[in-house]
Amino acid sequence: MGEVKLLGTRHSPYLHRVIWALKLKGIPYEFIEQDLDNKSPLLLQSNPVHKKIPVLIHGGNPIAESVIILEYIEEKWPQNPLLPSDPYEKAVARFWVKFADEKGLSISKVLQSSGEEQEKARKESLEMLEIIEEHAPGLGQKKFFGGDKIGMVDLTLGRLAHWMGVTEEVTGVKIMEAGKFPRLEAWMKNFKEDPVIKENLPEFKDTLAVMKRHRETLLASK
Amino acid sequence: MAEEVLLFGVGRSPFSGRVEMALKLKGVEYKYVEEDLANKSPSLLKYNPIHKKIPVLVHNGNPIVESQVILEYIDETWPGYPLLPKDPYERAIARFWAKFIDDKCLPAIFKAFYGEEKEREQAVEELSEFLNYLENELKEKKFFGGESIGMVDIVANLIFWLEAWEEASGTELLTREKFPRLTNWTHEFVSNTIVKESLFPRDKLVAFLRNRIGGPNVSK
pLDDT single digits (tens) B119-132? 888 999 999 999 99
Burial category of A141 from C-beta neighbours within 10 Å (exposed 0-12, middle 13-18, buried 19 and up): exposed
Handedness of CA B155, B156, B160, B164 (dihedral sign): positive
Chain B residues close to A58, C-beta within 8 Å: 89
The confidence score (pLDDT) of residue B123 equals 92
* Bridge partners (DSSP) listed for residue A6: A31, A56
The confidence score (pLDDT) of residue B1 equals 52
CA dihedral of residues B21, B25, B30, B36 (deg, nearest 10)? 0
The confidence score (pLDDT) of residue B220 equals 39
AA identity, residue A186:
A
pLDDT single digits (tens) A69-90? 999 999 999 999 999 999 999 9
Distances (CA, A) of B71 to A80, B5, B66, B88: 25, 14, 9, 17
- How does B151-176 read in b/e, with b if 16+ C-beta sit within 10 Å? bbbbbbbbbbbbbbbbbbbeeebbee
Determine the Cα–Cα distance for residues B215 and B220; give it in Å rounded to an integer.
9
User: Which of A65, A72, A95 is nearest residue B69 as measured by Cβ atoms?
Assistant: A95
| Mutation for B interface: A63, A86, A130, A156, most B CBs within 10 A | A63
Q: Residue B143 gets which letter from DSSP?
A: B
Q: Residue B32 gets which letter from DSSP?
A: E
Mark yes or no for CB contact B50/A88 under 8 Å.
Answer: no
A78: closest chain B residue by CA = B88
Mark yes or no for CB contact A68/B99 under 8 Å.
Answer: yes
Q: What is the ipTM of this complex?
A: 0.96
Q: What phi-psi label fits residue B201: left (phi over 0), alpha (psi between -120 and 50 degrees) or beta?
A: beta
- How far does the CA of residue A74 sit from the closest CA of chain B (Å)? 9
* Bridge partners (DSSP) listed for residue B32: B7
Mapped to the 3 state alphabet, what secondary structure does A30-41 carry? Answer: EEEECCCCCCCH
Q: Report whether B206 contacts B164 (CB < 8 A).
A: yes
pLDDT single digits (tens) B8-30? 999 999 999 999 999 999 999 99
Total Cβ atoms within 10 A of residue A194: 18
- How far does the CA of residue B16 sit from the closest CA of chain A (Å)? 17
Mark yes or no for CB contact B66/A63 under 8 Å.
Answer: no
Give me the sheet containing A55-58, strands edge to edge. Answer: A30-33, A4-8, A55-58, A61-64
Mark yes or no for CB contact A87/B76 under 8 Å.
Answer: yes
Percentage above 90 pLDDT, chain A: 95
Q: Decide: helix, strand or coil at residue B82.
A: coil
